[in-house]
Amino acid sequence: MQLQCPLPKMDFDVITLGHGSGGLLTHQLLESGVFDVLKNDLLDTQHDGAVFSLEGKMAFSTDSFVISPIFFPGGNIGSLAVHGTVNDLAMCGAIPKYLSLSFIIEEGLPMNDFWEILLSIKVACEEAGVQVITGDTKVVEKGKGDKIFINTTGIGTVPQNANISTKNIKKGDKIIISNSIAAHGIAIMSLREGLSFESEIESDSRALNGIVKTLIERFGEDIHLLRDATRGGLASVLNEIAQFTALGIEISQAKIPLEEQVAGACEILGLDPLYVANEGVFVAFVAPEIADKCVDLLQTQAGSQAAAIVGEVVEAHPKKVVLTSGIGGRRVVSLLPGEQLPRIC
């Protein structure tokens, strides 16, 4: 995506402490570009909050993004911050509506980086159909932050036919993975380690709300649980669910969608793809009778063409995730004790 800087005439080349002061420079920064870029009817440029009307059941979710590096193949911290919160809302079965946007910027961030991030936020919001309606900008001294951290917090409406909850999971539920795993983490790690491949591995960062809306319209309450497999990857999400439900989870390694190049990179980097972060992949627990139709539908949608049933919920080995390997061996997949990939999102 080619983004043009809308502001060739800022007085500063970099963000300074004054841009976070609440004084003249803050106003210049906001009025000379931020409000224009994010423009919408509800973005209140004169107050510290926005006012809107909604009815009924709502979802609310927050995420702070501290990824390093801030630009990476397939996106940057701005698009990621939109996708991350939009996806968390979608995983509640909600239709994301409004976002707040809060920056913590390290003094010295090049102004052009800031605008590029802001434009990516705008594009990601448009694609996901959400609006940024309130925000905040803070600046910290050089060495007290790391370029830019972004918090997005979102509100969405939950349709009546959505009923997404860990409590709905039953023995026999099929487990679907929406797309090939591990691309986000590997894209970031390759960049950090200076690895290059035949074709560049891109982050899978994308908004999933469109796909989820389609699924829920079609299958309603037969979709029991949705979870995006971000930090900690697929293994962590499945472990959390197993522990909460006190049921067992069986998965088959051969069925888990994984691109060959990503698999190769995982080997080089010594990473187990099951633990690598995704930013555009979700796990769905669904009633067994709709599982095949669900995969068929997913495979017709951009962003979930590699969807597959990878396992099911069992009564054996409660609270444990057991993987059958490609050659038939079985092993328990546990939660990682520490940090495999710091600052991946």
CB of 5 to its own copies, least distance (A): 24
CB of 2 to its own copies, least distance (A): 30
CB of 201 to its own copies, least distance (A): 21
CB closer to its own copies out of 135 and 248? 135
Sheet of strand 148-157: strand arrangement: 131-140, 95-106, 148-157
Strand 321-324 relative to strand 223-228, pairing: unpaired
What dihedral angle (degrees, nearest 10) is formed by the CA atoms of 139, 141, 143, 144?
A: -60
Distance, CA of 134 to CA of 42 (rounded, Å): 8
Q: Which tokens in the block code for residue 163?
A: 């009923």
Asked if omega into 69 is within 30° of 0 (cis), the reply is: yes
CB of 105 to its own copies, least distance (A): 10
CB closer to its own copies out of 243 and 299? 243
CB of 272 to its own copies, least distance (A): 12
CB 50 within 8 A of CB 42: yes
- 16 CB-contact burial (10 Å; exposed 0-12 / middle 13-18 / buried 19+): middle
CB closer to its own copies out of 21 and 32? 21
CB of 186 to its own copies, least distance (A): 17
CB of 94 to its own copies, least distance (A): 7
CB of 10 to its own copies, least distance (A): 15
Which residues, at least 6 apart from 337, have a Cβ–Cβ distance to it below 8 Å? none
- 296 CB-contact burial (10 Å; exposed 0-12 / middle 13-18 / buried 19+): exposed
Distance, CA of 115 to CA of 109 (rounded, Å): 11
CB closer to its own copies out of 65 and 219? 65
Sign of the four-CA dihedral 155, 158, 164, 168: positive
CB closer to its own copies out of 136 and 292? 136
CB closer to its own copies out of 137 and 295? 137
In DSSP notation, 96-151 reads: EEEEEEEEEEETT-BHHHHHHHHHHHHHHHHHHT-EEEEEEEEEE-TTSS-SEEEE
Q: Which H or E element spans position 189?
A: helix 183-193
CB closer to its own copies out of 18 and 303? 18
CB closer to its own copies out of 10 and 140? 140
